[in-house]
Structures are given as structure tokens and as C-alpha cells.
Amino acid sequence: MAHLFHHKEKKEESEYSNEYGSGYAEQTTVVEDDYEKYNKEEKSHKHKEHLGEMGALASGAFALYEKHEAKKDPEHAHRHKIEEEIAAAAAVGSGGYAFHEHHEKKEAHKQAEEYEGGEKKHHGFFG
């Protein structure tokens, strides 16, 4: 039977080690700085915003299709009307999600600018 658990082996003491540690400095690596982190976060929110927009567009289109089907097929009009309302609700929800992600993206962009130390650009009349 194969052994399923991997145990970490104990590190051997080097000839340069003493009670204060080894004779070599520990090497630490920074995975990414905060600016890159905020830029990745902004990119992620932008992607999610676009997904929300596509969901709103698709749901809205399906709602319009069901509205057309309700008029075209009077025998099943009630069913098409219900599906139209469900699709319209999904479109509103997706639009709200896209709106939320848009504001999250703006917040991540603002944090990246603050971390970078760059001047904030004011495009307004009084700014």
C-alpha cells in the first residue's frame, strides 16, 4: 500500500549554523508589491463588470424575445409572459452587478493611484 502522506524531512544542520541561526541570510522574495496588487484587482473588477454587462444584455434580449413570443403564440402567452418577467429580473440583477463592479474597479484604481503617489487627475469644472 502506498504511503499517502508526505512528511517534511528535518533540515540538516549546516556547518555554519549556531544558536543565532545559519551563517547565511534568509532569502525572502516579495511576490508582488501593492501597486501591482491593486492593478490586478482593478483588472479583475473590469472583467467582472463586462461579464455583468453581457449578462444584462443577454437577459434583456431574451426578455424581448419572450415578449414577442407571447404575442405570436397566444395559446402559451401566459408562459411566455412569466419567462419574460424572469428574464427582465435577471437583466436588472446583472445590471446591478455590473454597476457594483464598476464602483469596485474605481475604488481599486483610486487605491493604486494613492499607493503610487501620483497626483489625482481632476477633470471637473472646479477641480
Q: Each residue of 8-60: pLDDT tens digit?
A: 555 555 555 556 655 555 555 444 577 888 889 999 999 999 999 999 999 99
Given the C-alpha cell 544542520, which residue does it identify? 13
φ, ψ at 72 (rounded to 5°): -75, -30
Q: What does the alpha-carbon distance between residue 104 and residue 110 come to, in Å, rounded to a whole number? A: 10
In the predicted model, what is the mean pLDDT of the chain?
81
Which candidate, 64, 69, 71, places its Cα nearest to that of 87? 64
Q: What does the alpha-carbon distance between residue 68 and residue 73 come to, in Å, rounded to a whole number? A: 9
Which candidate, 103, 101, 79, 90, places its Cα nearest to that of 56? 90
Average pLDDT over residues 86-113: 94
Question: What pLDDT shows up at residue 11?
Answer: 52
Q: 52 versus 126: which is more confidently predicted?
A: 52
